[in-house]
Amino acid sequence: MLRTPTGGAGNGAAGSAERLVSIGSVLAMLRDEFPEVTISKIRFLEAEGLVEPRRTPSGYRKFSAEDVERLARILRLQRDHYLPLKVIRDQLDGREPGEPARIPGPAAHGDEASGAPERATVGKVGRAELLAAAEVDEAQLAEWESYGLVAETPEGGFEAQAVAVARLVADLGRFGLEPRHLRAMKAAADREAGLVEQVVAPLRRHRNPQTRAHAEATMKELAGLSVRLHEALVQTALGVRLN
């Protein structure tokens, strides 16, 4: 459920009937359901034509409730169904108001020519699915793997979180950042993960099953806080404002 803002800027005669909010407010509204979403991600979706916020005379973005709900639908389709942006755009723009998006079946990502679907493991995605979701080719994925940015599991396939990593690496690549430039980020992420593991390790070893279950919730909360701190530190270092 998205959190609705209690205030916002109007836009001319429609101000009394519709409230418009800043990109920072949109981020806060989406964060509960999509903790990985960032200002850059929202701007990228705008640049790709997936959402069209209004602009104030000074150039600031202002989003309507419909814009925010559209962003949430886009993020759900990416997260839950690993759809590439082109497919999402076609689905959302080609449907009637209120009509749910049509989700392509698994065959869309399989090997239709041979009739043999790609091997899939519960909770994981296949190589073809990852390529389609990130909108990259095999050579790019192989390069990411060589730098340790994504990796297949020993049983085959990729964890669902690898899809989010692949999309972000692809998005950064559009700005000229190559996998070799991202090694420092990967190393920092590994160190942060190590710190989280140190905190939850005693809980995981506890005899009480409830305490062990609490370790997983604690790990997720710490991971979310770590991501938000990292973003805030980068924005502070760059002097970036949420507008």
pLDDT score recorded for residue 109: 39
Encoded amino acid at 232, one letter: A
The pLDDT-based confidence of 112 (bands split at 50, 70, 90) is very low
pLDDT score recorded for residue 131: 87
- Residue 89 Cα to chain centre, angstroms: 16
Question: 6-10, 87-91, 180-184: lowest mean pLDDT where?
Answer: 6-10
The pLDDT-based confidence of 106 (bands split at 50, 70, 90) is very low
Question: Is the four-CA dihedral 236, 35, 64, 8 of positive or negative sign?
Answer: negative
Question: Is the four-CA dihedral 124, 129, 130, 134 of positive or negative sign?
Answer: negative
DSSP string, 37-52: --HHHHHHHHHTTS--
Distance CA 134, CA 164 (A): 8
The pLDDT-based confidence of 235 (bands split at 50, 70, 90) is confident
Q: How many CA atoms lie within 13 A of 227 on its CB side?
A: 11
Nearest to 100 by CA among 89, 109, 91, 108: 91
Distance CA 49, CA 64 (A): 16
pLDDT score recorded for residue 77: 87
Q: How large is the average pLDDT for residues 76-102?
A: 73
Q: Which two tokens stand for residue 204?
A: 């995981």
- When mean pLDDT is compared over 66-70, 103-107, 112-116, the highest value belongs to 66-70
Distance CA 95, CA 196 (A): 44
Distance CA 77, CA 86 (A): 12
Residues 6+ apart with CB under 8 A from 82: 109, 125, 129, 130, 132, 133, 163
